[in-house]
Structures are given as structure tokens and as C-alpha cells.
Chain A
């Protein structure tokens, strides 16, 4: 090789711009999203799925999935799993209910204390994984049972039941509760209604009010978390450490990346996301149940994998995970609108998971040059 510089290897074909634009981790999720929307526009286009109320319906469900998928995505890219997300959701909701209703503490305090407890449990998850070197699969599986057990035990011990209601009344004048249970943009929807762009109630106590009177904070949280996580992951130094920690922890350590700290922080972030989910849910329902959040950890992981992340870490996209969550929400609600038996949701989910993962594997091979 001469010192004047190498020439491009003649065996590497020039890649076209279009191909380059297509080859990205989110491609599988983008294709899936388009396919799902096309499907429902054709089969449920006139069922009300795409009027204001219908859109709000599936956006809200999707937003729930987005919130936990964002946390699971960041953690998976950092090379770890959290199977305790679902139990954490139940645990956090129950914790808010016990603190605010049973113990009578202010709702804002109950919420903040719950966040502190859950993030601490996330840190404990991370600390055990990092210190012992055990697979996070096992450690968080243990917490799946531990947290679910406590979620059933405490309300039974204290209240002799597994559902605690009455949170809505307690939260009525609270300053923090609306951040999770409130709605924004009411004025805008009033205006839309006055212009005749969205439907209004025709009868009843709310006659004249728009059917959709604001965007739930749940959706705002979902969008906010998605944007922040995406920017942190792709644009910051810390994001590079997340990729490095999941890609090859040893190589990352050799160049001074604080791998343990990164992983623990990601476990804490996942716990934070689960708690946001739980708080929004509790504020919406006005109650906490011991069975809330069941199987959510798998739904989050499926959304992340549909979104193009690699199960072994080091590769993935928050936007992809959010699209995976959107596919979830749209399919789940869309089957209802289309009048399809809802048990077929799982069949559909399994099929789309398989296709997305096959497509993603192919894309990844192109990107990384594996053969």
C-alpha cells in the first residue's frame, strides 16, 4: 500500500441513495406501520376508526405501549432486559393508591414517593446485574415475581382487597395529578368543534361540548419520552455509551466508558417509564388493581424488536420502538373497529412480529456487512 492513500476497493459496489435511505433500523417498523394502516383503512375505513374519537382511541392505547417501549428500547440497546416492567406497573399503581387513599397522604407526595421507590428498585435491578454478572433475564424475572407478590400482598393485608379505588376524588385538587391524568389543548378542540370540524355531543349533560375535548397527558408523555430518548441516544455522548455498553461491554470498558453506570441508569430509566405508565393509568381509572400491567414486559419487548432493535444489544432505534408500539395499539383497537374477533389480535401480533424480525435481520446484515 503506498503512502499516497488507498483507492476505494473495487469489490465494494456503489450503493444507491435510495438504498441508503431505506437501510435503517426502523425500516421494518415503517413498513409494518404502513401495512397496518392500509389494512385498516380498507377494512375499517368507515367504522369511525379514523374520526377524531377513533384516532384518540387508538392513539391513547398506542401511547401506553410507547411509554414502556421507549424504556425497554434504551435498556435493550444497553444490552439488558427488564422482565419486571409489568409487575412494576402494578406495584407502582398500588403504591400510589395505598399512600394516597389508605394512608391519606397528599396525592402529589404519593406520586413522588412512588417514583422514588420504583426508580430505586430499578437501580437495585441494575446493581445486581452489574455486580453479579448474572443475565438480566434471570434477575428481573425474580423481580417480576417479587413485585407482583407484594402488589397482591400489601392491599390484602391492609385493605382486605386487591383493588383500591377512590383515587379520583383524592386527586381532584392536586397539583401534580393533572400532569399524568389531565388533558391539554381543550381550547383548540373547542375551536375545532365550533368550526364543525369534529363532532359534538348532541344530548346529555355535555351537549354542545366536543366529543374529543383534549389530548390526554398520556400521549404527551409518550411523545416527550420518545423525543428525549431519541435525541439522547443518537445525538449525545451518553447515547454513544449506551450503544457501546450493549455492543461490547469489554471493548467499551477498555476505552473508558463507564459501562456499569450506563447500565444501571438504563434500568432506572425503564423503571421510570413503567411508573409513568402506572401513574397515568391510575389517574385515568381512579383505581389501582393488583393485576395491572400483566404481560406488559413482553409487549414492550415485542414492540422494541419490531422496531429493529437487536435482542443481544448494541443496536436499535427509539423511533422504531415507538412505531412498533403504534402497530400494537392500532391493531388491537383496529380489530375491534373492524368487528373482528379480538382473540385474533394475538395471531396478528405473532405474524407481524415474525415478519418484522425477519425483515430487520436482513436489514441489519446489510448494514453491518455480516454474511
Chain B
């Protein structure tokens, strides 16, 4: 795996996060290298969301260090993390359905051209870049003017991913990008993850679906009740083992028997 030749872009060491009396994270370590897809697995309530929000600057860790390219970092806001190169694609907050693909793609970073004392949004450039970036991700838009609402869920995720990549993300955090998607759209998003990884970007892929994780993951870290249960490399672990780790190891074995191995 070529990605192991590189130092990690982001390293999270023994992160703890307390919300009042609740210990949401109790010593989580995680790192992400360029060009790898590191899957973060865990059942609901395992602390996945809290952890990635810490990584993307929404929460400040109670204890523990965040190292970005080897240096200690204190992200005061998501904006700081974004500027450093950590982009997060949230499942539901990615896109504004009523606005066109171009307007969404450039939202907050619109290109402008000056005409005399006035500056206008440069729609020619914006449309061309949007079409090109979407084509690279394997989506041919009918028109850059079409509303995001007309796109499928997978295509929306892809727009958000393409946007993050275009604006120079070094680490891309995907918060359950496949959980609301159908089979074919999931395949599209997984293919997109693969493309992004090949471009040298580190992808943090949060999911609770072992099969999706196994399809693209290079490494797998399992969270359970606010702790890391360990990190495994591709080929060192079977889907069944991952599944058991996620569920805490016990009940699922029995349950799986009665369900005929369909979980």
C-alpha cells in the first residue's frame, strides 16, 4: 500500500470529549494518510459523530492532541479546519436543493470578475469548472443551471465531494454518505471515493455498513462506546469480525444465526 510510505496528514491522539457528566469519547486515536481511505465504523451512539466533529473543528477536545501535518493544531471553528484542508461532507447539510448546481458548487467562494467599479459573479468560469469537475467524478450534468433538487441523493453527495476536492481538501471526511442511498447510487459514491483517494487525498469514511467499508477501505477503525477497539488493515480482518467488533462482540452472533447471515 503506497499510502503507508507517507506520514499522516491528520493524527488524533487519545482524544477525549466530555459533555458535562457524559463522556462521549474516552481516548480515541486515529490517523489518516494521503491517498488512503480510512473507514471509521461503529454502531449508533458509538461516538462517530462527536469524533468527526472534533476533527472538523466543531467541537474542541477535552483532552488529547490533534496534529496536522506533524504540527499541533487548535481548530477554533469549522472554518479553521477548512482553511487547513479538512473538508467535511455532511449527509444532510451538503446542498441547497432550490439552487443550481453551479450556485451550490461555488457557494461561499464565488468567482468574480470586475466591470468598472462593480464586481459580478463570473458565471462563464463557474459553469465551465462545475461541468468539468462533475464530469471528472463521472456525472454528466444536463446543464449547470439545473437545480440540485433534480439530482439523486448520490449525485448530491458527489457534487459536495467534487466541491471539497476542487477547493483543495487534503482530508475529506464523509459522514455516512451511503446510508440513505440505493444500491446503484451507493456504488457511484464508492466509485467517487476511489477516485478521490487516487488523487492523493485522505478519505475518512464514516459508515455502519461493513460491506460498504470493505468495498473501498484501506484501514478500518472500530469505535464502540467512545473508545477505539483497534485499527485493522485491509486483508487482516474479515467482514464478520468487523461486524462483531461493531456490535460489541456478543449478541449479534446469535442474532445472525437466526437471520441467516443477512445482516
Contact = CB atoms under 8 A, between A and B. Distances in A.
Interface string B77-101: 0110010000010100111111100
Contact of B98 (A6, A15, A247): A247
A368 B109 contact: no
Nearest to B56: A254
A255 B99 CA distance: 15
Interface stretch (B142-150, B225-233, B239-247, B253-261): B142-150
Contact of B99 (A8, A235, A314): A314
Nearest to A7: B140
B107 interface: yes
A194 interface: no
Contacts of A315: 98
B187 interface: yes
Contacts of B103: 240, 243-244
Contacts of A310: 98
Interface in A250-264: 250-252, 254-257
A224 B149 CA distance: 33
Contacts of A240: 99, 103, 106-107, 110, 121
Contacts of A314: 96, 98-99
Contacts of A7: 140
Contact of A256 (B79, B98, B118, B140): B79
A3 interface: yes
B135 interface: yes
B19 interface: no
Interface residues of A, number: 33
A256 B109 contact: yes
B109 A5 contact: no
A257 B99 contact: no
A256 B99 contact: no
A237 B106 CA distance: 9
B188 interface: yes
Contacts of B106: 240
A310 B97 CA distance: 13
Contact of B135 (A1, A5, A247): A5
A251 B147 contact: no
Given A247-B98, A248-B96, A251-B96, A5 B107 contact: no
B180 interface: no
A244 B107 contact: yes
B139 interface: yes
B235 interface: no
A243 B96 contact: yes
A367 interface: yes
Contacts of B200: none
A256 B120 CA distance: 19
Nearest to A314: B98
A236 B121 contact: yes
B97 A368 contact: yes
A12 interface: yes
A237 B99 contact: no
A249 B109 CA distance: 16
Interface residues of B, number: 37
A310 B149 CA distance: 15
B119 interface: yes
B138 A1 contact: yes
User: Which label, helix, strand, loop or mixed, suits the secondary structure of the B interface?
Assistant: mixed
B140 A5 contact: yes
Contacts, number: 95
A255 B142 contact: no
Interface string A296-328: 000000000000001000110000000000000
B263 interface: no
Contact of B93 (A1, A243, A254, A367): A254
Nearest to A243: B99
Interface in A1-18: 1-3, 5-8, 12, 15
Nearest to A312: B98
Nearest to B195: A3
Given A1-B187, A240-B121, A252 B149 contact: no
Contacts of B147: 367-369
A161 B70 CA distance: 75
B93 A12 contact: no
B191 interface: yes
B108 interface: yes
B23 interface: no
A370 interface: yes
B107 A252 contact: yes
Contacts of B108: 241, 244, 252, 255-257
A100 B123 CA distance: 47
B121 A235 contact: yes
Contact of A6 (B79, B138, B149, B195): B138
A27 to B, nearest CB: 15
Nearest to A249: B96
Contact of A239 (B82, B121, B188): B121
A135 B109 CA distance: 28
B110 A237 contact: yes
Interface in A208-261: 235-237, 239-241, 243-244, 247-248, 250-252, 254-257
Interface in B12-46: none
24 contacts: A1-B138, A1-B191, A3-B138, A6-B138, A7-B140, A235-B123, A236-B118, A237-B119, A239-B121, A240-B99, A240-B103, A240-B106, A240-B110, A243-B96, A243-B103, A244-B108, A247-B99, A254-B78, A256-B108, A315-B98, A368-B150, A369-B149, A369-B150, A370-B149
- Top 7 A-B pairs, shortest CB-CB distance: A369-B150, A368-B149, A255-B108, A247-B96, A237-B110, A256-B108, A315-B98
